[in-house]
Amino acid sequence: MPTRWLTGHETAEAIEDLVPGSVARSTGVACYLKPEMLVEACHALRDDSDGLDLVHLTNLCAVDYWSHFEVVYHLQSFYKNQFATLKVDVQGRDKPAIPSVVPVWHGAWMQECEAYDLFGIVFEGHPNLHRILLWDGYPGWPLRKDFLSMPGGLQPGLNEFAGTARREAPPVRLVE
């Protein structure tokens, strides 16, 4: 039987039962959690062996949407063979921060380091958050959409390459 891909609404209902007040909103794809309740909700989801039983954090990554960042958690259950997507909105481009889920899933350790390295999102409570792929002291955050206007993105001539200026101006420019 193929994997059951839970919709955001199904996941949201289950989480609301476990930890009331932790869901911000839900869509057909993902369930958005409130950052301050994230760790508590994740603990409950992992240990909820009769319900969703999301024991395995498959994938963790971030997406830059200009106005905010989204951190995406892909979770799955081996025994129930189901798959859920959780998301958290992270506000602010100066020092975006959300709680770390390393206490819940050890596998988040390196993936959170990667998201910090490439997006500059600080995962509070991470035991050893550091630049994992780039070197310490690298000035910019490469996967942000405004990377080219950062110190690390400014290389002589790079802005002149075909294709780099193709995307139209973003709706919000928040870089000082």
Partner 1 sequence: MTSAIKSEPFILNIGPQHPSTHGVFRVKVTVDGERILDAEMVMGYLHRSMEKLAEERTYTQNIPFTDRTDYLSSMSNNLGYCLAVEKLAGIDVPDRGQAIRVIMAELQRLASHCMAVGAFANDTGAWQTPVMWAFREREKILDLFEMTAGARLTCNYMRIGGVAFDLPKDFVPMARDLMKTFPAFIDDIDGMLTENEIFLVRTRGVAVISPELAVNGSLAGPMLRGSGIAWDIRKADPYCGYEKYDFDIPIGYQGDSFDRFIVRLEEMRQSVRIVQQALDALPGGPHSTQVPLALRPPAGEAYARVEGPRGELGYYVVSDEGPSPYRFHIRPPSFINLSVLKEMTVGGSVADAIVALGSVDIVVGEIDR
**Interacting residue with partner 1 among 11, 22, 26, 85 (CB under 8 A):** 85
Instruction: For the CB of residue 21, give the shortest distance to partner 1 in the complex, in Å.
Output: 26
Instruction: For the CB of residue 19, give the shortest distance to partner 1 in the complex, in Å.
Output: 20
Q: Which stretch binds partner 1 (CB under 8 A): 12-20, 34-42, 70-78, 88-96?
A: 70-78
Based on the shown chain and the rule CB under 8 A, indicate whether residue 48 belongs to the binding site for partner 1: no
Instruction: Give the total of residues touching partner 1 (CB under 8 A).
Output: 38
Instruction: For the CB of residue 52, give the shortest distance to partner 1 in the complex, in Å.
Output: 15
> Using CB under 8 A as the criterion, what x/- string covers residues 87-106 for binding partner 1?
------------------xx
**Interacting residue with partner 1 among 13, 134, 146, 150 (CB under 8 A):** 134
HSE-up (13 A, CA, CB side) for residue 22: 26
User: How many Å separate Cα 131 from the centre of its chain?
Assistant: 17
Residue identified by tokens 């508590």 is 40
Secondary structure in 3-state letters for 91-134: ECCCCCEEECCCCCCCCHHHHHHHHHHHHCCEEECCCCCCCCCC
Q: How far apart are CA 99 and CA 96, in angstroms?
A: 11
The nearer residue to partner 1, 36 or 78, going by C-beta atoms, is 78
Where does this chain bind partner 1 (CB under 8 A)?
Answer: 2-3, 29, 55-59, 61, 63-64, 72, 74, 78, 81, 83, 85, 105-111, 114, 118, 131-135, 142-143, 147, 163-164, 166-167
